[in-house]
Amino acid sequence: YIVSGRVQAVGFRHFVHRAAVVEGLHGWVRNLPDGRVEIRAEGEAQALERFEWQVRQGPPASRVEDVEITDLGATGHDTGFT
């Protein structure tokens, strides 16, 4: 996922991390230099759907304007979410 809008310095990465852990997903989240946030998430399809809904909402201080989704295929690594 590439998320744009007001998504840095508003607790967005922490929000994403918490949502991913609750859904049992694996992957990571990081800020990009251009102000967007990049997310790599793997898990069960229904968990990913719930996660995507949460990402599109964001925390109260954020304003999600766009979410680009690219299916890169699963790596199969069970590494938690960072």
Active site residue ranges: 13, 31
User: How far is the first Cα of the chain from the last one, in angstroms, to the nearest whole number?
Assistant: 15
Residue of 6, 15, 11 whose CA lies nearest to 55? 15
The DSSP letter of residue 81 is B
Residue of 33, 21, 12 whose CA lies nearest to 82? 21
